[in-house]
Structure 1
Amino acid sequence: MMVYCGKPSRGCQMCRTRRIKCDETKPTCKQCAKSNRQCPGYKDEFDIIFRNETKATERRAKKAEKKRGAFEPSLPSTAVQREGSAGQEPISPVTSEDTLLSPFAKEVVKSPLELAIIPAIEIPMDTKASCHFVSNFILIPQQGSTRGFLDYLVPLLKREPNESHLQHAFNACSLASLGNRVGPAQTVDFREKATYEYTLALRRVSLALQHPEESKSDGLLAAVLMLGMFENITAQKMGDFAWGSHIEGAIQIVKARGRKQLRTKTGLGLFIGVRTQLIIHSLTSGTAPMMGADWWLHDAIKDETSAACQRINLHTAELRAELTQVMTTISRKPENVAFILSLLRRAQALDAECLAWMKSIPEQWQYKTLCWEDNVPRGDYANAEVFPGRVDVYNDFWIASVWNMMRTARLILHSLAVRCAAWVCSPVDFRTTPEYATAARVCEEMITDIIASVPYHLGWHAKRRHLFANKDLSGFACGEDDCMKGLAGYFLTWPLACVNGQDYVTDRQRAWVVGRLRYIGDELGIKYAHILSQLHIRIPSMMIVRDSLVAQPSANYPMAHNFVKMISTSARDMTPPRGYTMNAMQHRQTLQKEAQEAGKAELVAKASGAGGAEDAEDVHKVAKNWLKV
């Protein structure tokens, strides 16, 4: 409440504190100049006359008046004279104009003058971490827009109690993210606290899943998604599999919630969040989306353009899973060749839909080329901020992430087409096929586009704002928009990992992409990027080798049925070695299986690269999961 407080002194704060008459000379009064003191200046006239008096402040003022009244009779005569001298007034009690409420904590902070002579109040670790996470990962849609990321957390956290599973999962992510970006001296404290919060969240999620109603709540689903995000941020051992288990758990919760969850804004946002994670999980693991693509698309559209992108990605995941299974089971017969060719045509049709999406995208979704970079200092591609070529800018990070999701879909679709062509033309070299020539052209273009988007994500929107025609970035929930954001690195991890594994990437491009993944892990705190930077996967060539390794003998030879019959006939006449309990046919099958397993192990070893001993186990398991051998 704004109240009129009478006619107070208009003197500077220093003279009022010293209780002497101020001559009100501006900008610096002469009393401060004579005593060699720094004059703090004068308050605004409106603030002098009107003060925002709350009930709590009124109570403090009355209490101070009573105390002052009790001691007034014993005041020294000099003090009485000073108090009654012309132009002076007694020291007033502390009111709301002399205090500020910290935006991070419910603590009263002293006036600027008092802050100059007393230590600043220490902000609690949890409060710092929460503000850091909200300002780095929660993207709030602008007015009239549906573009956002984790925006459903804001209303949910307000409703959830402090000891809820969602609050603990949020605390775990916040502490882990900030801990990855502070100095080494504080990292251990943040890591221990984050792990403790993660453990509490797991325990409460497990208890909530035992209750029929609570197991279907918005808060529980959001908590499970946050636990999956924690795995990406921390990249602890078995991080990839823990992330996958959390996503699979979220999928089961969504299935149990049914279609009624789409009736609320929060429910729809959570559903789309799970769907996005499902796409990445399906594409990395080679498994089909649970419940099928159509189930995830029916009545679940928040933005038409992004929904069309996710629809193509879901169908791409279905096609990849189907092709991977087929390659391990069918023999080379005319009807099977026709079936593989039909899969090839499906991949080409989906790629045509990708191209149509890119050509028909709305104006506000279009990106612009900001400038061209021509050189790399000292040829150090691993640490260069920009790769020579285009630098593109987007209206916000969310739009850029959707574009890159579509580009990675095209990379995967062309790898599937080449795998189909390789199976059909075997034993002829697949690099002689027209499908490979088309894939090389399209994939090189998509790789260039993804690389051109990276500088925008990693700081160009902050360092070179004067070059941007459109400065209306989508807003984060708090903090400044024009600074480095962890969300940008989180969005980049998947497309950069796909680029790093392509056959069509040059050595310089690969060195630069690996450097950017390491930068994301080091500077933006998304530690899973470190593991992905150590993968040496090559697509589609390794997948074609993998197809031949896991296939049955009948899948490799035109006269497979005669070949198997010939082996069976000759095996009956072979004499088993001395002391050997298996017959000759079993012995041959064992040797074939050993050779097959050795080939798989060699393939995974190549894909794992030569990472550090600390991350070698994680890299090996991620590579094995991606290749599914």
Structure 2
Amino acid sequence: MVYYGPSRGCETCKRRRKKCDETRPSCLRCITAQRTCGGYEDGTNCMFRQYDGQDGDPVPFKSMARKCSLPVRVSGPGIDKPQEISDEKVEEFALRAFFYDYCIISTNHSLSRGYFDGLELMVQRLGWQSDLAKACKAVGFATHGTKLYRPGLMRKAEVFYYTLLGSLAKAIADPAFVKTTESLMIAVLLGLYEMIMAGDSYPGNHNAHARGVAAILQIENSPLELFGAIRSSHPIVRKNGIRNPGPFPTLYSDDASQSLNNLLLIFGSLWRQANALLADPLTGLDNLHQLKCEATALDQAFVRWEQARAEDFKPWEVGQVSGGQEAKLGVGYWPGRVDTYFDLYVAGVWNTYRAARLLLLDLVLKLSTILNDGHMHGSGYQETLRLVEDMVSSIPFHLAEDIQVFLRGLENGYGVGKKNVLATIEPGRPVGGLLLMHPLYVVSKLSIVPQQLREYLRDSLEWIAKHMAIGQASIFAKIPEIHEEYLADGCTLVWAGMLV
């Protein structure tokens, strides 16, 4: 999807007649020059060129995405929906809010795949009353019903959800429907609904929808198996008649073996092997030594992936959070760098990479301790701290509505040096929390990560649950041990959103 119009730059760069780097939500040129970024044209006025998979002709369309402007509900009857607004209009608002909250439209496919990038166009083609549109509405109503304490919206979400369960069960009986991207996206969205509705007393049934995704793609129920579907060029994951590069494509490199897709696939196999060997009391030291060699070699392959990234793809430091005297740090205000990225998809890719590397380093250090070889301890812990700090530096970008506003707050001393006062940030789009929460959870469980940092990561998960209405993040924050299958099913659903 490519922007189609006279200019793609932010309003400030267009006024100054300067070339804009188009970073969202605020461009790096403005941030670097300490100017206020005027933002980009409203979503309704943005014309995109989407390519039709049937004949390759460009099909322009206007995005209807809009931020929900409803306030948090106050007590009293008749607050959820003013009587003069029709149900049809309320559903339209829910759909527009969903597109704003969860769709990342890539403006440069050589850098970013976006997230649910082609979903809005699919809904336009199928119609506003299609099952796919209803699935989007269910997620939109669930998100804002939860976040704004509006039970009327939550009831609407529930009605859409259970209606879709019935119609989807009938549709799956049709082999032609199962082979469509529509069926895949409905399964993903229903799983996302369950992740939103999950909580301390209700872990959610997203695993059933993850199994549905696996059945549609004819793969085993594992997030890493998505790469297998991509490798086999499954018809659903082919875009515009060409092979889908996968959730994490090779960027600026002709070596497909060094893509993050491939490295994660190898990591999954190695991780399963490590769990089996470490659980077997009869495992010999030679096998453990060989496992450590393989893990170290894979870690170096990850390092080469990082070093080979284009500069535009790498994070960019835009500010610093100073150390304060707060009894407890507010989420987003951990002392250190503040980084920005090309978009939230790119930030999500980096944090997936960091979480995988941290798991590998934890394994290498654990094996070094068992083998008592003394290797990797100093450099391994140093690299661990760097990777965790990089992840922490991305949290404001993932969670803030506008990184420029956040930075101006830092300049004004907000959240710095105030005892017993927790600074807060204006919550951004829920998709930022969705792409961040699994890496946060994985890293928060590693013993090689300092305890205070682990507590901060758990606080960040709780913040995502409260302010972005993704209930599963609260489970990650509070429950000591999460079953690996529960975690893997969530990753399957999140990563599948990158395939459309």
Q: Which residue of 351, 356, 362 corresponds with 1:409?
A: 356
Q: How does 1:519-558 map to 2 (within 5 A)?
A: 519-535=463-479
Secondary structure, aligned partner of 1:505: coil
**TM-fit CA distance, 1:165:** 3.5
CA distance in 1 between partners of 2:250 and 2:205 (Å): 29
Deviation digits for residues 506-544 of structure 1 (CA, Å, limit 9, x no counterpart): 343233222221211111112211111114xxxxxxxxx
Contact in 2 for aligned 1:240/1:622 (Cα 8 Å): no
Contact in 2 for aligned 1:384/1:512 (Cα 8 Å): yes
Is 1:321 paired with 2:265?
no
**TM-fit CA distance, 1:210:** 1.5
Secondary structure, aligned partner of 2:173: coil
Contact in 1 for aligned 2:135/2:186 (Cα 8 Å): yes
**TM-fit CA distance, 1:405:** 1.0
**1:142 aligned partner, one-letter code:** T
Q: Which has the higher helix share?
A: 1
Deviation digits for residues 216-258 of structure 1 (CA, Å, limit 9, x no counterpart): 1111011111122222222157866732332232122113896
CA distance in 2 between partners of 1:440 and 1:205 (Å): 49
Contact in 2 for aligned 1:218/1:267 (Cα 8 Å): no
**1:235 aligned partner, one-letter code:** A
Is 1:359 paired with 2:307?
yes
Counterpart of 2:394? 453
Secondary structure, aligned partner of 1:434: coil
Counterpart of 1:88? none
Secondary structure, aligned partner of 1:147: coil
Deviation digits for residues 6-47 of structure 1 (CA, Å, limit 9, x no counterpart): xxxxxxxxxxxxxxxxxxxxxxxxxxxxxxxxxxxxxxxxxx
Q: How does 1:103-118 map to 2 (within 5 A)?
A: none
**1:440 aligned partner, one-letter code:** Y
**TM-fit CA distance, 1:454:** 0.7
User: For the structure 1 residues 204 and 161, does the alpha-carbon distance in structure 2 shift closer, same or farther, using more than 3 Å as the test?
Assistant: farther
Counterpart of 1:505? 449
| Residue ranges of structure 2 left out of the alignment (5+ in a row) | 1-63, 67-81, 220-228, 410-425, 489-500
CA distance in 1 between partners of 2:459 and 2:478 (Å): 10
Deviation digits for residues 420-461 of structure 1 (CA, Å, limit 9, x no counterpart): 334445xxxxxx832444432221111111001111222252
Counterpart of 1:61? none
User: For the structure 1 residues 520 and 262, does the alpha-carbon distance in structure 2 shift closer, same or farther, using more than 3 Å as the test?
Assistant: closer
CA distance in 2 between partners of 1:524 and 1:445 (Å): 27
CA distance in 1 between partners of 2:118 and 2:347 (Å): 21
| Residue ranges of structure 1 left out of the alignment (5+ in a row) | 1-102, 106-118, 277-300, 426-431, 468-481, 536-606, 609-620
User: For the structure 1 residues 154 and 302, does the alpha-carbon distance in structure 2 shift closer, same or farther, using more than 3 Å as the test?
Assistant: farther
Structure number with greater Rg is 1
The TM-score with structure 2 as length reference comes to 0.67
User: For the structure 1 residues 507 and 416, does the alpha-carbon distance in structure 2 shift closer, same or farther, using more than 3 Å as the test?
Assistant: closer
Q: Which residue of 265, 278, 298 corresponds with 2:240?
A: 265
**TM-fit CA distance, 1:212:** 1.5
CA distance in 2 between partners of 1:207 and 1:462 (Å): 48
Contact in 1 for aligned 2:252/2:310 (Cα 8 Å): no
User: For the structure 1 residues 360 and 328, does the alpha-carbon distance in structure 2 shift closer, same or farther, using more than 3 Å as the test?
Assistant: same
Counterpart of 1:542? none
Counterpart of 2:285? 337
**2:396 aligned partner, one-letter code:** P
Secondary structure, aligned partner of 1:331: coil
**TM-fit CA distance, 1:267:** 8.8
CA distance in 1 between partners of 2:121 and 2:160 (Å): 21
CA distance in 2 between partners of 1:419 and 1:506 (Å): 16
CA distance in 2 between partners of 1:500 and 1:266 (Å): 41
Counterpart of 2:166? 203
Is 1:230 paired with 2:193?
yes
Q: Which has the higher contact order (CA 8 A, sep 6+)?
A: 2
Secondary structure, aligned partner of 1:206: helix
Secondary structure, aligned partner of 1:361: coil
Contact in 1 for aligned 2:197/2:204 (Cα 8 Å): no
Contact in 2 for aligned 1:392/1:453 (Cα 8 Å): yes
User: For the structure 1 residues 378 and 464, does the alpha-carbon distance in structure 2 shift closer, same or farther, using more than 3 Å as the test?
Assistant: closer
**1:259 aligned partner, one-letter code:** H
Q: How does 1:50-449 map to 2 (within 5 A)?
A: 122=85, 124-142=89-107, 145=110, 146-161=112-127, 164-182=130-148, 184=149, 186=150, 188-236=151-199, 242-255=205-218, 259-265=234-240, 272=246, 301=249, 303=251, 308-329=259-280, 331-332=282-283, 336-376=284-324, 378-381=326-329, 383-425=330-372, 433-449=374-390
Deviation digits for residues 178-230 of structure 1 (CA, Å, limit 9, x no counterpart): 21222x2x2x1122221221112222222222122111111101111112222
**TM-fit CA distance, 1:318:** 1.5
CA distance in 1 between partners of 2:428 and 2:469 (Å): 11
**TM-fit CA distance, 1:503:** 1.6
How many residues are paired up?
Answer: 376
Contact in 1 for aligned 2:199/2:474 (Cα 8 Å): no
CA distance in 2 between partners of 1:266 and 1:153 (Å): 17
Contact in 2 for aligned 1:166/1:201 (Cα 8 Å): no
CA distance in 1 between partners of 2:137 and 2:210 (Å): 19
Contact in 2 for aligned 1:138/1:150 (Cα 8 Å): yes
**1:371 aligned partner, one-letter code:** G
**2:271 aligned partner, one-letter code:** R
Secondary structure, aligned partner of 2:269: helix
Contact in 2 for aligned 1:165/1:220 (Cα 8 Å): no
**TM-fit CA distance, 1:377:** 5.1
Contact in 2 for aligned 1:462/1:483 (Cα 8 Å): no
Is 1:490 paired with 2:453?
no
CA distance in 1 between partners of 2:428 and 2:487 (Å): 30
CA distance in 2 between partners of 1:328 and 1:104 (Å): 50
Contact in 2 for aligned 1:376/1:387 (Cα 8 Å): no
**2:276 aligned partner, one-letter code:** Q
User: For the structure 1 residues 340 and 378, does the alpha-carbon distance in structure 2 shift closer, same or farther, using more than 3 Å as the test?
Assistant: closer
Computed over aligned residues only, the root mean square deviation of the Cα atoms, in angstroms, reads 3.4
